[in-house]
Chain A
Amino acid sequence: MASANVSPTDSGQDDDGNRRRLPGSKRRAALYVVLVGLLLFYLAPLEAGLMTAFKTTQEFQRSLPLVPPGPGGFTIEPWTVAVREMADALVNSLLLAVPATILSALLGSLAAYGLTNIDWRGQVGVVLLFVAGIFIPYQAVLIPLSRLFAIVDTASLLSFLWGLPFLQEHHANLINLIVAHTAYGIPITTLLFRGYYKTFSAEMLEAARLDGASAFRVYRRIVLPLSKPMFAVTLIYQFTQIWNDLLFALVIIPSGSGPAAVVTMALNNLTGGIIQTFNTQMAGAFVAALPTLLVYVLFGDYFARGVAGES
C-alpha cells in the first residue's frame, strides 16, 4: 500500500532526515512489504476474533476464520450474550481499577518527590528497595495475601457501610483488591515519576524555597502542576495493568465466579463450558478488552512511555 508512493524524490522529506535510510527505491519497497506483512501478523488474531464474533455457530465452524460472515451467517447474538454474562464483572472492574489507579499514581508521585527533589543521605538505599519491588514474582506473595485477607476480615470491619445504598458486602473483596493493587503499583509509579522529577531544575525549586515555601507547598504549587504529563503516563499504564490482572483477583476473591468477580475472571468463566462457543468467547474477549483498547488507541504514546519506563 504505502510502498506504491515511495519514489526517490520522497527522500529527505521526513523530519528525521534520511540518515538511517537504506539506499535504493527497490529496497524501500521491500521494506514496506515487510512492515505491512508484520502488520497483518500482529492483527491476525484480532481480525479472526472480530470476524468470528459476528458469526453463528454453524458459520464459524464452516467458514474461514479470517473472512467476514457469509449470507445468513451474520449475528450479533454473541455480543448480547457476552455483555449479559459480563455486565456485573465490568462494573466491578471499573470500581476496582479507577481508585487503585489513582491511589497508586498519587502515592508514587509523593514518594518520588521525597526521594528525588529533597536531597538527603542514603536515598539510594530506599530507592533500591522501591525499584526492586517492580521485579518480584507475585507468586512469592500470593499465599501471605490470601492469609492476610483471611485474618483481616474487611467485610466485618466495614459492616457499617453495607447498609448504605449501592454498597454491598461483596464490595469488601474489591476493597482488598484495591489495597493490594495500590501497594504493588507503587514501585513502578515511583520509578516513572522519579525519572521525570530528576529532570526538574534545581534552581526553580530552590527559588521557591527561598520564598519561604515549605516542602509541601513546593510539591502542591510547583511539582504537582508540572506532573500532569507524567500522571497521564502513569494513570494509563496502571489502569491497563490493573484492568488486565487475573492472578490477584483469583487469590483475593473467594470462589471465582462470585458476585465480586472481575472482568478477567468473567471472561475466563465464559470460556469454561464444554461446548466451544468460540463466537461468544471472541465477543467476550473484545468486551473485556474494550476499555484498555480505547485507552490505547486514544493515548498510545503515553502507554508506550510507561512501557519503556519499566525498563
Chain B
Amino acid sequence: MRNRSPNPRSDDAGERLRADGGTTTATAARRDDETGLSRYVSDEFLSSLPFWLPPFLLMGFFVYGAIGWNFVISLTDFAGLQLPTYDPATWDFETYARAFSDPTFWTAFRNTVILLVVFTALALVIGLGLAILIDQGVRFENGFRTVYLLPMSLSFVVTAVFWRWMYNPQSGVINTVLGSLLGPLGIDVRFQWLSGFVDTGALGALPLVPDVLYVKLFAVIFALIWQFSGYTMVVYLAGLRAIPTEQYEAARTDGASTVRMYWRVVLPQLRASTISAAVVLMVFALKAFDFIFVLFGDNPGPYGDILSTMMYRQAFSSNQWAYGSAIAIVLFVMALFVVSPYLYSEYRRGEL
C-alpha cells in the first residue's frame, strides 16, 4: 500500500535501518527454514517488535480492550450490586433504547452539540486572531505568547475555582465590572451567571429570559475559551510561520489590502492547521468533564448537563452501570465521527 499512496516515506524506505545486523549466518539459516511466511514476517518486523509491542499491548488493553469491555457492559443489566453477566444469551440493546427515550439524554445531547459547535468555532476564530496579532513582528512576542497560553497549563479544577469566583454574583470580577458600567445608568441587577438567574432587587430573582439563551452553558463556554484559545493560537502561529514571505510580498505588490491579503492568500493555507485544531477542540468538547463537575457537581441541571457528566452521574452516583456505559458508547461514536475522517485524510497525505 505504501507504493500506491503518495507517501513521502516510500522514497527513503530503501535507506532505512535494516535492523538485521549481527550474525548474518544465523539469519541465513533461519531464512532457509522459513516458508512463504517470510515474505510477510521480515527481519525488520521481528527486530522492531521488542520496541513497540510492549507499549502497544499496554495501551491496547487499556484503550481498545476497555472500550470493548465497556460495550459488552452496555449490553448487560449491570446495576447496583448485581454484577454484569458475561453470557451473550442475556445481552440486549435495552440500555440504548432507554437512552433514546430518556428526555435527560436528549437534553445532555443537545448541550453537548451546542458546546461542541460554539466552543470549537469561537476558540478557532479567537485563536486565529491572536496568532495574526502576534505575527505582526511585535516586541515582547514571547511574553505575550506565554501569557496567552498560560491558562492551558492549569488544571480544570484550578480554572473552575478561579471562574466560580469571577462569576460570583456579589463580589465577582464580572459583576463588579458590569455594575460599574450599568450602575451610573440606574440599572441595579446582579447576574447569577452559574445558575442562569438575574437579581433585579425590587422584582426579586427572575430567570434570565428567555431560557434558550443557555446562560449557564455559555458561561462555561466563555471560561473554556479563555483556557483554550492559547492552544489554537499556537497551532495557527505554526501555520502562519510556514507560509513563505514571498507570498506576502507578492500580495502587497499587487496592492492587496491587509484584510484581503489574509482572506485570499493566508487563510486558504491554514486549512491543515484549522482541521487539526478543530479535531482536538471537538474531542475535548465531547469529554469536557472536570470543569463542569467542579462547578456544578455531577448534576448540572438542564442547561449545564452534557453527555460526559450524565454518564458519570448514571454510573458512579446512581450505580446504573450498564446505562452509563451505553451513554459512554454514544460519546465514543460521536468522537469516531469527528476523528476518523481526520485520521483517514492524514493517512492519505502520508502524514501518519
Contacts and interface: CB of A to CB of B under 8 A. Distances in A.
B54 interface: yes
B343 A60 contact: no
A234 interface: no
B137 A135 contact: no
Contacts of A108: 55
A206 B331 contact: no
A254 B9 CA distance: 48
B343 A132 contact: yes
A277 B281 CA distance: 33
Interface in A93-129: 107-108, 110-111, 113-115, 117-122, 124, 126-129
B106 interface: no
Nearest to A114: B51
A18 to B, nearest CB: 6
B138 interface: yes
Contact of A271 (B2, B164, B287): B164
Contacts of B321: 143
A212 B22 CA distance: 6
Interface residues of A, number: 120
A271 B294 contact: yes
A307 interface: yes
Contacts of B163: 45
A43 B48 CA distance: 48
B115 interface: no
Q: Which of B16, B67, B165 has the most CB of A within 10 A?
A: B165
- The A interface, classified by DSSP as helix, strand, loop or mixed, is helix
B94 interface: no
Nearest to A213: B21
B316 A114 contact: no
A136 interface: yes
Interface in B327-352: 327-329, 331-332, 334-335, 338-339, 343, 346-347, 352
A65 to B, nearest CB: 5
Contact of A147 (B69, B226, B307): B69
Nearest to B170: A61
Interface stretch (A73-81, A162-170, A182-190): A182-190
Interface of A: 2, 5-6, 14, 16-22, 28, 31-32, 34-35, 38-39, 41-46, 48-49, 52, 60-61, 64-66, 107-108, 110-111, 113-115, 117-122, 124, 126-133, 135-148, 180, 182-184, 186-187, 190, 198, 202-203, 205-206, 209, 212-216, 218-219, 240, 243-247, 250-251, 264, 267-268, 271, 276, 278, 281-282, 284-285, 288-289, 292-293, 295-297, 300, 303-304, 307-308, 310-311
Interface of B: 1-2, 9, 12-13, 15-19, 21-22, 40, 42, 44-45, 47-56, 58-67, 69-70, 73, 84, 130, 133-140, 144-159, 161-166, 168, 170-173, 176, 226, 230-231, 234-235, 238, 240, 245, 248-249, 258, 273, 276-277, 279-280, 283, 286-287, 289-290, 293-294, 307-308, 311-312, 315-316, 321, 324-325, 327-329, 331-332, 334-335, 338-339, 343, 346-347, 352
